[in-house]
Structures are given as C-alpha cells and as structure tokens.
Amino acid sequence: MICFNWKKYDIFIDNRHNASGKDFHNLNIKHICFDLDGTLVKSDKTIYKATLKTLEKLNIKGEIAEDNFIEMIGMHFVDIFKKFDLDVPDFQEFIVIYKILYFDFIDESKVYPGVEDTLSFLKNGEDIKISLLTTKGQDQAEKIIDHFNLGKYFDFIMGRREGIDHKPSAEPLLFICNELEVDAKNTMIVGDTELDIFCGKNAGAISCGVTYGYRTEESLKKNHPDYLVNDFTEIKSLRRE
C-alpha cells in the first residue's frame, strides 16, 4: 500500500480532509498523472515567444502583456485569445505554425529541479504508473517529453486528441485511467492550475496542486485541492508501508 507521510504538511491536513472526506493517512495510490507546463517544465518563455512569433507570421496585431499571459498558461489558446480580445481567424493555421516555431525557442524551457529524480523514484522505487496530461497537441507533447529525455518514466502520454475533451473535463483523465487499467480513485493528478484540480475532482481522483508554477498558492487554495506541494520533490514523500 502507498501512503503519504503527512508530518511536515500538518498545515494542510485538516482543511483538505474536511473538504474532500478522504483519509489522507491511507491513500492507495497506483497512478500519478502529471501536468506538463508549470509542473514538470518551466516553459513560459518558450510559450510566450512562440505565440508572439506565430501571431507576427500571421500578421495578427494585438497587445499581449507577458505577465498576464503567463497567468493564463494551461488554458486553451482559444480562451487565451478571447481574454486578450485577439481575432485569430484560422485557429488551426495558428496551431500548425506555433508547433513548428515552438522548438525555435525550446532552449528557453527548463525541467524543474528534482523532476527527473522524483519520476525515477516513483517509477522504479514505488512501482507507480506515471502519465502525462496536457492541453498541448499529442505530437507536440511527445516531442517535448523526448526533448528532455523523460519518456522512459511515462506509461502513457495524453495530449489533446480529436474527439476527447480537455481539462478541466474528467474525460481525458478517465481515458488515461482506462488505458492503464487503474481506478480514478487510486489516481492522483498533479498540476499547477485550477484546470488540473477540477479535472481531478470531476474524475473522482485525488488532486495535488504545485505552488511553484503559473498560479499563486492563494488562487490554488481557493480551488480546494486535496494536497499542495511547494517543491516537486515533495511528491517523494509517498512511501510504501
């Protein structure tokens, strides 16, 4: 059985337990699903620069403040453009060009400290199934994971796929659980935005917010995740009993 060592997170135990009714001293976690941007990879510079360059290529004018843009990372581009009141007539053309230009700026992205060590610990030491769930396209998600040599840690990579809804819908997470033959109640989703938290809640999974990504700790708490971590390595507080 996999259980959390909760001692150094006492500040969160009571609120999280009361909010969800889960007994956090007896979690039986068989599968952890990770978000990509703001969780595994610090990619805001890459995303921002690739977006501006793509809009420039398409001759689409508009002001996109970097700070405001970063706060929206994780949302679908359609929703981001609405927030900035940008008219992108051919969204598919934008995506095609964006995915090509993205890798012109890939060196601006970095894997967060402790990510590879923690993934290795979970995969090899705890025998937990590991998946990725991102709003990026399937092909782009796979390329990014391969670029950072993280593919060996993942049992399943789930990018945006035609006919399957995206976060915060439960559908993509339940799809992953079905593919891995793991119950959602034995799954924890880890991410830095409200989309990840609500995806987990909607699927009946455990939700874990990370406070170092693209949302503030205060905003994450308002969405009542089951668990919060300030550093990716804290995921290693999972232990076998």
Q: Are the C-beta atoms of residues 238 and 126 closer than 8 Å to each other?
A: yes
Spatial distance between the Cα atoms of 30 and 228, rounded to a whole number of angstroms: 19
Q: Which helix (H) or strand (E) holds 188?
A: strand 187-191
* 206-210 and 187-191 beta bridge pairing: parallel
Sequence length of the chain is 241
pLDDT for 75 beyond 60? yes
Q: Is 159 helix (H, G, I), strand (E, B) or coil?
A: strand
Torsion of CA 217, 134, 8, 236, to 10 degrees: -160
pLDDT score at 147: 97
**Position 145: which residue type?**
I
Calculate the CA 122 to chain-centre distance.
17
pLDDT score at 125: 78
**Position 22: which residue type?**
K
pLDDT for 212 beyond 90? yes
In the set 14, 23, 35, 37, the catalytic residue is 35
Spatial distance between the Cα atoms of 230 and 163, rounded to a whole number of angstroms: 35
Please compute, for residue 21, the number of CA atoms within 13 A of its CA located in the half-sphere on the CB side.
Answer: 4
| Domain positions in the chain | 2-41+111-240, 44-108
If phi > 0 it is left, if psi is from -120 to 50 it is alpha, else beta; for residue 41 that is: beta
Q: Which CATH number applies to 2-41+111-240?
A: 3.40.50.1000
Helix locations, the chain, DSSP H? 10-20, 44-57, 66-70, 77-83, 91-102, 115-120, 138-147, 171-180, 194-203, 217-222
pLDDT score at 3: 39
Task: Answer yes or no: 146 catalytic.
Answer: no
Reported confidence tier of residue 54, pLDDT bands at 50, 70, 90 = very high
Stated pTM of the model: 0.86
pLDDT score at 127: 75
pLDDT for 42 beyond 70? yes
